[in-house]
Amino acid sequence: MAISYIGTLLAFGAVVSTALSVPTQLNSQIECTRAALIAAADAYVAAQTAGKLDALQTFLSKNWTYQENNKVVDSTAGVLVKSLKLDHRRTNIDTGLCASFTELIATDAANPYVIGTQIHHNTDDLKIQLIDSVASTTNSWAFNASKTLSYLVKEKWDPIPESKWDSRAVIQAAGNIYMDVWSNASAQAAIPFGTPCARLEGSAYTGKDSPTDSCAVGLPSNHSQKANINRRYVIDQSMGSVNILCLWQHMMNAADSHEFRLEGGKLRYVHTMTECGGKACKL
Ligand SMILES: *[C@@H]1O[C@H](CO)[C@@H](O)[C@H](O)[C@H]1NC(C)=O
Ligand SMILES: *[C@@H]1O[C@H](CO)[C@@H](O)[C@H](O)[C@H]1NC(C)=O
Ligand SMILES: *[C@@H]1O[C@H](CO)[C@@H](O)[C@H](O)[C@H]1NC(C)=O
Ligand SMILES: *[C@@H]1O[C@H](CO)[C@@H](O)[C@H](O)[C@H]1NC(C)=O
């Protein structure tokens, strides 16, 4: 304890040395703010655009981990060092878990990607501990980046007024019960479906631009499949959203990203990306 306390003070001292207006917090950890998490996510997006880690370096902890499609990989060998022409970026912020989730789309036919990235930070010095990405591309489930983008731009993911926020627990529970449908016959009935609601799975869209659009269509009827496990979460109350990265055991042990948006406690949107170890995804 004593050692990590000193470590915190030293790290904090280094940070404030060039920012004298920041009040000294001798007895507490550095606060995990939206601004700090957004700055790191911006650096991540800059790195992905450049195809170089440079912009990220000052944000990374010494022992950070890069995980891509559920595997720890060398950060200098993954998609992060491919320069991508990004057409879309949205970042959701979780100050509670000191993490962010960024959705990226690159429609460039030479290098098409739809990427979902969680960034998890240390709570003592706010440095990045883990960059955890599902990077879907050709061969991934229903992959077509430009088609995905064409649906996505019509959706409204505007910030929700604070007086209307759902609790973290409500948002997380809705995502979890949805993820349980494959392995629990009682789960589907417990999903708080809203109307309208639309699912964007790869580039397959259930929405028809109608006020009666439903997300209850075409969900698996076999509830005896292997569970969706190793779930990692990023929850943003101001977006009504939870992103869940997991192991999609029942489809080639794929790497999967499911993001849920709730409005007023009801499910409004679902976005998914599923990558099957470089092979063509199939049921
Ligand atoms: C990385 O270092 C931090 C701070 O020293 C420590 O708390 C953490 O457990 C380490 N993580 C790993 C994966 O080694
Ligand atoms: C993606 O979908 C569009 C239609 O939205 C189609 O014109 C295009 O050929 C598709 N691209 C690929 C690579 O399948
Ligand atoms: C299955 O889902 C129902 C409805 O939410 C829940 O009550 C039950 O505990 C779940 N069963 C398991 C084994 O998780
Ligand atoms: C449901 O999925 C399990 C696991 O994949 C499989 O063994 C079983 O045959 C499936 N049941 C039906 C009715 O398709």
Give per-residue pLDDT as tens, 144-188: 999 999 999 999 999 999 999 999 999 999 999 999 999 999 999
Q: Which of 172, 177, 181, 184 to mutate to test the pocket of ligand 3 (most atoms within 8 A of CB)?
A: 184
Which pLDDT does position 29 carry in this prediction?
65
Share of the chain above pLDDT 70, in %: 90
Classify residue 108 as exposed, middle or buried by CB count within 10 Å of its CB (0-12, 13-18, 19+).
middle
For residue 28, name the pLDDT band (cuts at 50, 70, 90): low
β-bridge pairing 113-121 and 128-136: antiparallel
Work out the average pLDDT over 240-268.
Answer: 98
Ligand 1 and 4: CB distance under 6 A: no
Q: Cβ distance 199 to 272 under 8 Å? A: yes
CB atoms within 10 A of CB 22: 12
Residue with tokens 């949805």: 178
Six-digit token string for 115: 């990427």
Q: What are phi and psi of 172, to 5 degrees?
A: -65, -40
Ligand 4 and 224: CB distance under 6 A: yes
Ligand 4 and 225: CB distance under 6 A: yes
Work out the average pLDDT over 41-51.
Answer: 98
Does this model's pTM top 0.85? My answer is: yes
Q: Cβ distance 265 to 170 under 8 Å? A: yes
Four-residue CA torsion sign, 196, 235, 101, 277: negative
Identify the residue whose C-alpha is closest to ligand 1 atom 14: 63
Work out the average pLDDT over 108-112.
Answer: 97
Work out the average pLDDT over 120-132.
Answer: 97
Which pLDDT does position 21 carry in this prediction?
43
> Which atom of ligand 1 has the smallest separation from the CA of 65?
13
Task: Please check the confidence at residue 225 and state whether its pLDDT lies above 90.
Answer: yes
Task: Please check the confidence at residue 4 and state whether its pLDDT lies above 60.
Answer: no
Task: Please check the confidence at residue 10 and state whether its pLDDT lies above 80.
Answer: no
Task: Please check the confidence at residue 92 and state whether its pLDDT lies above 80.
Answer: yes
- 18 or 203: which carries more pLDDT confidence? 203
Q: Which of 181, 182, 224, 250 to mutate to test the pocket of ligand 4 (most atoms within 8 A of CB)?
A: 224
